[in-house]
Homo-oligomer: A and B are copies of this chain.
């Protein structure tokens, strides 16, 4: 079992922090979309747990951990209620939320990759599932709220690259038998720092260029 990177309590605490901030981002979008309290809670749950649930379905880990660990399920509800009652305050600390979200990104791309590998998947699919764990919930959030997934938009700071780097580091660490708490933390921090730099300096990914005669509409 490589996924036991951290002690159980540390892992659980980090997971819940990540879930909580992902849920905040879901709840805030629901408020912006003028949804009611139930919409807020549903979007908080879907954002926080969606990536991990899809990963668990794909590797055959059913029921997903989100449905067997009570804390995983209740945390997004708490986040939803916090947003419902305090959304102006949560918006105001949006920078802090983005920082925590970057932490969640770093954490989940690492643990997602390790868990997929534990279930027998190869390096490349494990990296893909690590990225899915980190970014999948946000895609579900945007689809439910009828927005183009921000993961796919060119005018948003890069999210996939930090996850890709963190997940790839874990896959290499596993393959070379160097995955320890220390190296896993390094991978998570690398993804976190890359994401923070992307936010700070507005890093964006290139779009396909538009040559003469290209039938590409600017939508």
Contacts and interface: CB of A to CB of B under 8 A. Distances in A.
Given A148-B145, A152-B30, A208-B87, A125 B63 contact: yes
Contact of A152 (B38, B64, B70, B218): B38
Nearest to A210: B88
Contacts of A124: 70, 73-74
Interface residues of A, number: 69
Given A36-B207, A40-B208, A53-B58, A144 B139 contact: yes
Contact of A153 (B36, B45, B63, B120): B36
Given A145-B148, A216-B31, A206 B153 contact: no
B216 A39 contact: no
Interface in A72-111: 73-74, 83-85, 87-88, 91
Number of identical protomers:
3
Interface stretch (A154-162, A166-174, A176-184): A154-162
Contact of A214 (B39, B88, B129): B88
A68 B121 contact: yes
A152 B31 contact: no
Contacts of A57: 57-58, 62
Contact of A207 (B37, B45, B160): B37
